[in-house]
Amino acid sequence: MTQQKKHRTVRSFIRRGGRLTPGQQRAIDQLWSKYAINNADSLLELDTLFNRKAPKVIEIGFGNGASLAEMARNQPEHDFLGIEVHRPGVGQLLNLIEQFQLTNIRVACTDALELLEHRIADNSLERLHIYFPDPWHKKRHHKRRIVQPDFVALLSKKIKSGGHLHMATDWEHYAEQMLADVSQNSDFQNCAEQDYIPRPDYRPLTKFEQRGHRLGHGIWDLLYKRQ
Protein backbone atom coordinates (compact mmCIF):
# COMPACT_ATOMS: atom_id res chain seq x y z
CA MET A 1 0.00 0.00 0.00
CA THR A 2 1.44 3.36 -1.03
CA GLN A 3 1.45 5.98 1.72
CA GLN A 4 -0.14 9.24 0.66
CA LYS A 5 2.20 12.19 0.87
CA LYS A 6 0.95 14.87 3.24
CA HIS A 7 0.48 18.27 1.61
CA ARG A 8 2.72 20.95 3.10
CA THR A 9 1.35 24.47 3.24
CA VAL A 10 3.84 27.13 2.17
CA ARG A 11 3.85 29.85 4.81
CA SER A 12 4.39 33.52 4.06
CA PHE A 13 6.28 34.08 7.32
CA ILE A 14 8.93 32.61 9.58
CA ARG A 15 7.72 32.37 13.17
CA ARG A 16 10.60 34.06 15.00
CA GLY A 17 10.22 34.28 18.74
CA GLY A 18 12.17 37.48 19.23
CA ARG A 19 13.21 38.86 22.59
CA LEU A 20 10.42 40.54 24.49
CA THR A 21 11.25 43.64 26.48
CA PRO A 22 9.99 43.62 30.09
CA GLY A 23 7.28 46.08 29.06
CA GLN A 24 6.13 43.93 26.15
CA GLN A 25 6.04 40.81 28.33
CA ARG A 26 4.11 42.66 31.00
CA ALA A 27 1.60 43.84 28.38
CA ILE A 28 1.05 40.29 27.16
CA ASP A 29 0.68 38.99 30.71
CA GLN A 30 -1.69 41.73 31.86
CA LEU A 31 -3.59 42.85 28.75
CA TRP A 32 -3.96 39.70 26.67
CA SER A 33 -7.31 38.70 28.14
CA LYS A 34 -8.66 42.21 27.60
CA TYR A 35 -7.63 42.88 24.00
CA ALA A 36 -6.33 39.69 22.38
CA ILE A 37 -8.09 36.76 20.75
CA ASN A 38 -7.25 33.21 21.72
CA ASN A 39 -6.88 30.57 19.02
CA ALA A 40 -10.04 28.56 18.40
CA ASP A 41 -12.02 26.94 15.60
CA SER A 42 -15.24 28.87 16.11
CA LEU A 43 -16.38 31.77 13.94
CA LEU A 44 -15.66 35.17 15.45
CA GLU A 45 -18.71 37.29 16.17
CA LEU A 46 -17.07 40.62 15.39
CA ASP A 47 -19.92 42.82 16.63
CA THR A 48 -19.91 40.91 19.91
CA LEU A 49 -16.12 41.16 20.12
CA PHE A 50 -16.27 44.96 19.96
CA ASN A 51 -19.64 45.32 21.69
CA ARG A 52 -21.10 47.37 18.84
CA LYS A 53 -21.98 47.44 15.15
CA ALA A 54 -19.34 49.36 13.18
CA PRO A 55 -17.32 48.91 9.98
CA LYS A 56 -14.69 46.22 10.52
CA VAL A 57 -11.08 46.49 9.28
CA ILE A 58 -8.40 43.80 9.40
CA GLU A 59 -4.69 44.57 9.12
CA ILE A 60 -2.37 41.66 8.36
CA GLY A 61 1.16 42.02 9.72
CA PHE A 62 1.03 45.20 11.81
CA GLY A 63 4.70 45.09 12.83
CA ASN A 64 5.24 47.16 15.98
CA GLY A 65 1.62 48.35 15.92
CA ALA A 66 2.33 52.10 15.82
CA SER A 67 0.59 52.65 12.47
CA LEU A 68 -2.42 50.54 13.44
CA ALA A 69 -2.81 52.34 16.77
CA GLU A 70 -2.69 55.70 15.01
CA MET A 71 -5.35 54.62 12.52
CA ALA A 72 -7.60 53.45 15.33
CA ARG A 73 -7.14 56.78 17.16
CA ASN A 74 -7.97 58.71 13.99
CA GLN A 75 -10.94 56.51 13.00
CA PRO A 76 -12.92 55.82 16.18
CA GLU A 77 -15.95 54.97 14.05
CA HIS A 78 -14.14 51.85 12.74
CA ASP A 79 -13.19 48.63 14.56
CA PHE A 80 -9.74 47.17 13.83
CA LEU A 81 -8.47 43.61 14.18
CA GLY A 82 -4.69 43.38 13.85
CA ILE A 83 -2.97 40.09 13.02
CA GLU A 84 0.73 39.57 13.72
CA VAL A 85 2.80 36.43 14.33
CA HIS A 86 5.70 38.06 16.17
CA ARG A 87 5.10 38.45 19.90
CA PRO A 88 7.25 41.58 20.48
CA GLY A 89 5.03 43.49 18.06
CA VAL A 90 1.94 42.13 19.77
CA GLY A 91 3.24 43.26 23.15
CA GLN A 92 4.08 46.70 21.76
CA LEU A 93 0.60 47.16 20.31
CA LEU A 94 -1.04 46.04 23.55
CA ASN A 95 0.94 48.74 25.34
CA LEU A 96 -0.24 51.34 22.82
CA ILE A 97 -3.87 50.25 23.15
CA GLU A 98 -3.68 50.70 26.90
CA GLN A 99 -1.70 53.94 26.69
CA PHE A 100 -4.26 55.60 24.41
CA GLN A 101 -7.28 53.79 25.92
CA LEU A 102 -8.36 52.46 22.53
CA THR A 103 -11.57 50.47 22.59
CA ASN A 104 -11.68 49.77 18.85
CA ILE A 105 -8.67 47.41 18.46
CA ARG A 106 -8.35 43.69 19.07
CA VAL A 107 -5.22 41.64 18.46
CA ALA A 108 -4.59 38.12 17.13
CA CYS A 109 -1.18 36.42 17.27
CA THR A 110 -1.71 33.72 14.68
CA ASP A 111 -1.48 32.77 11.01
CA ALA A 112 -3.62 35.27 9.09
CA LEU A 113 -4.57 32.71 6.45
CA GLU A 114 -5.95 30.28 9.02
CA LEU A 115 -7.86 33.00 10.86
CA LEU A 116 -9.42 34.34 7.67
CA GLU A 117 -10.35 30.87 6.41
CA HIS A 118 -11.90 29.56 9.59
CA ARG A 119 -12.88 32.43 11.87
CA ILE A 120 -13.97 35.40 9.73
CA ALA A 121 -17.44 35.32 8.20
CA ASP A 122 -17.87 35.96 4.49
CA ASN A 123 -18.87 39.49 3.46
CA SER A 124 -18.02 40.91 6.89
CA LEU A 125 -15.08 43.28 6.30
CA GLU A 126 -15.19 46.92 5.23
CA ARG A 127 -11.46 47.03 4.52
CA LEU A 128 -8.46 44.74 4.62
CA HIS A 129 -4.94 46.15 4.84
CA ILE A 130 -1.64 44.50 3.92
CA TYR A 131 1.13 47.05 4.47
CA PHE A 132 4.76 46.26 3.64
CA PRO A 133 4.54 42.46 3.79
CA ASP A 134 7.74 40.44 3.62
CA PRO A 135 8.76 40.75 -0.05
CA TRP A 136 10.66 37.45 -0.13
CA HIS A 137 12.80 39.12 -2.75
CA LYS A 138 14.76 36.06 -3.90
CA LYS A 139 13.04 34.45 -6.87
CA ARG A 140 13.00 31.00 -5.31
CA HIS A 141 11.10 32.46 -2.34
CA HIS A 142 8.38 34.28 -4.31
CA LYS A 143 6.01 31.37 -3.56
CA ARG A 144 6.09 32.50 0.08
CA ARG A 145 4.63 35.92 -0.65
CA ILE A 146 1.26 36.29 1.04
CA VAL A 147 -0.40 37.92 -1.98
CA GLN A 148 -1.09 35.10 -4.45
CA PRO A 149 -4.15 34.38 -6.64
CA ASP A 150 -5.62 31.85 -4.18
CA PHE A 151 -5.24 34.31 -1.30
CA VAL A 152 -6.89 37.07 -3.33
CA ALA A 153 -9.82 34.72 -3.98
CA LEU A 154 -10.15 34.16 -0.23
CA LEU A 155 -10.14 37.90 0.42
CA SER A 156 -12.88 38.41 -2.16
CA LYS A 157 -15.12 36.24 0.03
CA LYS A 158 -14.36 38.06 3.26
CA ILE A 159 -14.58 41.68 2.04
CA LYS A 160 -18.15 42.87 1.57
CA SER A 161 -19.40 44.35 -1.68
CA GLY A 162 -18.29 47.98 -1.80
CA GLY A 163 -15.46 47.30 0.65
CA HIS A 164 -11.78 47.78 -0.12
CA LEU A 165 -8.47 45.91 -0.24
CA HIS A 166 -5.51 48.23 0.40
CA MET A 167 -1.89 47.10 -0.01
CA ALA A 168 1.43 48.91 0.13
CA THR A 169 5.00 47.83 -0.56
CA ASP A 170 8.43 49.32 -1.14
CA TRP A 171 9.43 46.51 -3.54
CA GLU A 172 8.51 47.38 -7.11
CA HIS A 173 8.52 43.77 -8.30
CA TYR A 174 6.13 42.79 -5.51
CA ALA A 175 3.92 45.75 -6.38
CA GLU A 176 3.78 44.53 -9.98
CA GLN A 177 2.88 41.02 -8.81
CA MET A 178 0.15 42.36 -6.50
CA LEU A 179 -1.21 44.41 -9.38
CA ALA A 180 -1.33 41.38 -11.65
CA ASP A 181 -2.73 38.93 -9.08
CA VAL A 182 -5.56 41.18 -7.86
CA SER A 183 -6.41 42.65 -11.26
CA GLN A 184 -7.02 39.20 -12.70
CA ASN A 185 -9.74 38.59 -10.10
CA SER A 186 -13.00 39.94 -11.50
CA ASP A 187 -14.40 40.55 -8.00
CA PHE A 188 -12.01 43.48 -7.55
CA GLN A 189 -11.86 46.79 -9.40
CA ASN A 190 -8.71 48.94 -9.29
CA CYS A 191 -9.47 52.36 -7.81
CA ALA A 192 -6.40 53.95 -9.40
CA GLU A 193 -6.42 55.73 -12.73
CA GLN A 194 -2.98 54.32 -13.55
CA ASP A 195 -2.33 51.18 -11.48
CA TYR A 196 -1.25 52.81 -8.17
CA ILE A 197 -2.63 55.51 -5.88
CA PRO A 198 -0.98 58.18 -3.69
CA ARG A 199 -0.84 57.20 -0.03
CA PRO A 200 -4.34 57.86 1.34
CA ASP A 201 -4.65 60.09 4.40
CA TYR A 202 -5.92 57.24 6.58
CA ARG A 203 -2.66 55.27 6.18
CA PRO A 204 -0.08 56.88 8.49
CA LEU A 205 3.35 57.72 7.09
CA THR A 206 5.77 55.47 9.00
CA LYS A 207 9.36 56.17 10.06
CA PHE A 208 10.32 53.35 7.71
CA GLU A 209 8.74 55.21 4.78
CA GLN A 210 10.25 58.54 5.77
CA ARG A 211 13.69 56.94 5.75
CA GLY A 212 12.93 55.34 2.40
CA HIS A 213 11.90 58.66 0.91
CA ARG A 214 15.17 60.23 2.06
CA LEU A 215 17.07 57.40 0.37
CA GLY A 216 15.04 57.75 -2.82
CA HIS A 217 13.11 54.51 -2.41
CA GLY A 218 9.70 54.13 -4.05
CA ILE A 219 6.46 53.27 -2.28
CA TRP A 220 3.56 51.68 -4.15
CA ASP A 221 -0.02 51.78 -2.78
CA LEU A 222 -2.72 49.66 -4.41
CA LEU A 223 -6.41 50.11 -3.66
CA TYR A 224 -9.14 47.81 -4.96
CA LYS A 225 -12.90 47.94 -4.51
CA ARG A 226 -14.81 44.72 -3.98
CA GLN A 227 -17.56 44.54 -6.64
User: Catalytic residue positions?
Assistant: 134
Say if CB 227 and CB 187 are below 8 A apart: yes
The angle that helices 112-119 and 149-158 make with each other, rounded to 10 degrees, is 40
Three-class DSSP category at 225: strand
Helical (H) or strand (E) element with 30: helix 22-35
Distance CA 175, CA 219 (A): 9
Q: Count, in order, helices (H) and strands (E) of the chain.
A: 8, 8
What would the 3-class secondary structure string for 123-176 be? CCEEEEEEECCCCCCCHHHHHHCCCCHHHHHHHHHHEEEEEEEEEEECCHHHHH
Say if CB 145 and CB 182 are below 8 A apart: no
Distance CA 147, CA 108 (A): 20
DSSP state for residue 41 in the 8-state scheme = S
